Chain A
């Protein structure tokens, strides 16, 4: 451990943080309210506005909100069932919790997924954050056209630096930031929603979605967008619910702290695109709210994003510690590896990434839906809710999760089947669909097909071969 020789006076990163080890009960101090706050701050950010915008392309305000809410809660249910039982029971993060299903070398699937997903989400937040600051400076008369193009890249670099400093303290830094930002996030979110509903009520009732076609298909798009958005919390969830004392404590915060706020805050983007033809509050908040409150809101939007970025980078850093070669690296090295791509995309590729965000969102469902399905059936059906913690951390050739070359063919086949199912039902590039998408969506069938294939291959191949620690 790189931490063993640290002086005691240095702000500590726990040994458990540094190595993504299972947390001891004495280290799992986040009670229900604290976990709720951290998860809510992690989930509430301006990505919600973009999710709302996409839903508003298909549905009017209330059908859109309700479809998105339903999809989000079902998506969060899948993530909770996949991750929380193992993470809250043994104090491990999402990546470690997936070792029994994917094998010791299963990180080649789960870690890149987590890394790409968190990089994408947080790059989007950095772009919004830079825009918020730029418009704030313009609103208060501190920025001219000459300096405006430097604001977003400069803000990105500064924010990445701050996140690095805060997460140098591990989960303790994350928790403190979340406690401070909680009231900001809730207050600003409520204010933005109320302002839009009250001041733009007429425009909202008349607004028609631009891509609306058939009722059932549009409705399913709304559900699907809600679901993929919450399936994307797979990498985040374990890194935070492992801090809870037990599984029962973690369920309510996961469902209500991470699941529900996303569709609620997405209402801002949904109402924005319908009434004002833009989901980006940095473009309309000063126009609708007036220059003073608008400028204030822009600062708060930036602050909300900051909390979510911090949580995301923490989860990503923990995930990277699971990669062979990285688990012995110093915490700050892994932190830098998690932060650098986010910073680079935010500085150099912001426009390109912003225009391709819908594709990114759909691809999250492509991969995380089968992962969730596989984990749920494996833990509840095939293993009787027991995993070998020693097997997760000891990567010997004869360990229960060594499978074949450290990879479980059942999970790999199931992933392939789940991904193919999703791609058939919904094209992430064009959003073209095939039936039965309008009845079932894409994520749910992908999760179910992945789960069924995993069970079948496990029972036919893996278990008879005596691999995988199935009893």
Chain B
């Protein structure tokens, strides 16, 4: 069962947590591949195939 932590303690935890870029960084390479390159490939392929 989750321990009961007050809202104030939760906010204070994030305010005082040491800045850790590893926890905050998005996976930009994966985002770029799956959200831009892959759709672009689908668009090009779909324009030519199956009409």
List A residues at the B interface (Cβ < 8 Å).
Answer: 4, 8, 12, 14-16, 19, 21-24, 26-27, 60-63, 65-67, 69-71, 73-74, 76-77, 80-81, 84-85, 89-90, 215, 219, 222-223, 245-248, 251-252, 255-256, 259-260, 385, 389-390, 393
Whether A248 lies near B1 (C-beta < 8 A) is: no
Q: Which residues of B contact A22 (CB under 8 A)?
A: 10-11, 14
Interface of B is mostly: helix
How far, in angstroms, from A60 to B23 measured CA to CA in the complex?
Answer: 44
Write the nearest CB–CB distance from A236 to chain B, whole angstroms.
17
A390 and B34 contact, Cβ closer than 8 Å, known pairs A62-B49, A63-B50, A85-B26: no
How far, in angstroms, from A109 to B2 measured CA to CA in the complex?
Answer: 31
Interface of A is mostly: helix
| Range of interface residues on B (Cβ < 8 Å) | 20 to 34
Whether A67 lies near B46 (C-beta < 8 A) is: yes
Whether A4 lies near B4 (C-beta < 8 A) is: yes
How far, in angstroms, from A71 to B49 measured CA to CA in the complex?
Answer: 17
Total contacts A-B at CB 8 Å: 118
Whether B34 lies near A256 (C-beta < 8 A) is: yes
List B residues at the A interface (Cβ < 8 Å).
Answer: 1-5, 7, 10-11, 13-15, 22-27, 30-31, 34-36, 38-40, 42-43, 45-47, 49-51
Whether B35 lies near A73 (C-beta < 8 A) is: yes
Q: Which residues of A contact B22 (CB under 8 A)?
A: 246, 248
29 contacts between A and B (CB under 8 A): A8-B1, A16-B2, A19-B7, A21-B7, A22-B14, A60-B50, A60-B51, A63-B46, A65-B46, A66-B45, A67-B46, A70-B43, A73-B34, A73-B39, A73-B42, A74-B39, A77-B31, A77-B35, A77-B36, A81-B26, A84-B26, A85-B24, A89-B24, A90-B14, A222-B46, A223-B43, A247-B27, A255-B34, A389-B11
